[in-house]
Structure 1
Amino acid sequence: MSALARLMAPVALIAVAAPAAAQEQAVAPVQALDDGLLAIMKGGKALGFAGRSAKIGAVVDRSFDIPLMTRLTVGPAWTTTAPGDQAALVAAFRKLTISQYAGNFNDFGGESFAVDPKVETRGTDKMVKTRLNVPKGDGATLAYRLRPSGGQWKIIDVFYNNSVSQLATRRSDFAGVLAKGGAKALVTHLDQLAAKAAR
Structure 2
Amino acid sequence: MKRRSLVQLAAGLLATSLFAAPLAFAQSADEAPDVMIKRLSDDVLAAIRSDASVKSGDINRVMTLVDTKIMPNVNFQRMTSSAVGPAWRQATPDQRQKLQQEFKTLLVRTYSGALAQVSDEQVSMKPLRAAPGDTDVVVRSEIRGRGEPIQLEYRLEKTPQGWKIYNLNVLGVWLVETYRSQFAQEINAKGVDGLIASLSERNRANNNRKG
Asked if these proteins are the same fold (TM beyond 0.5), I'd say: yes
Cα distance, 1:156 vs structure 2: 0.7
Candidates 78, 87, 90, aligned match of 1:68: 78
Following superposition, the deviation at residue 34 of structure 1 comes to 4.6
Q: How does 1:11-160 map to 2 (within 5 A)?
A: 24-25=32-33, 27-29=35-37, 31-45=39-53, 48-56=58-66, 61-116=71-126, 118-121=127-130, 124-134=135-145, 136-160=146-170
Tell me the equivalent position of 2:6: 3
Q: CA deviation at 1:31?
A: 3.1
Deviation at 1:125, TM superposition (A): 0.8
User: CA 1:128/1:58 → structure 2, altered by over 3 Å: closer, same or farther?
Assistant: farther
Cα distance, 1:58 vs structure 2: 5.1
Change in Cα spacing, 1:164 to 1:3, as seen in structure 2 (3 Å) is closer
Q: Which residue of 2 aligns with 1:179?
A: 188
Give 1:104 shift: 2.2
TM-score relative to the length of structure 1: 0.77
For 1:6 and 1:143, the matched residues in 2 are separated by 14
- Of structures 1 and 2, the one scoring higher in RCO (CA 8 A, sep 6+) is 1
2:119 alignment partner AA:
G
Structure 1 residue 49: Cα displacement: 2.5
- Could you list the runs of 5+ residues in structure 2 that have no partner in the other structure? 15-28
SS at match of 1:120: coil
TM-score, normalising length: structure 2? 0.73
Query: Which runs of at least 4 in structure 1 moved beyond 3 Å after TM superposition?
Result: 6-10, 44-47, 56-60, 121-124, 192-198
Kindly report the root-mean-square deviation, in angstroms, between the aligned alpha carbons of the 2 structures.
Answer: 3.0
Equivalent pair of 2:156/2:167 in contact (CA under 8 Å) = yes
Number of corresponding residues:
186
Q: Is the 8 A contact 1:68 1:156 kept in 2?
A: yes
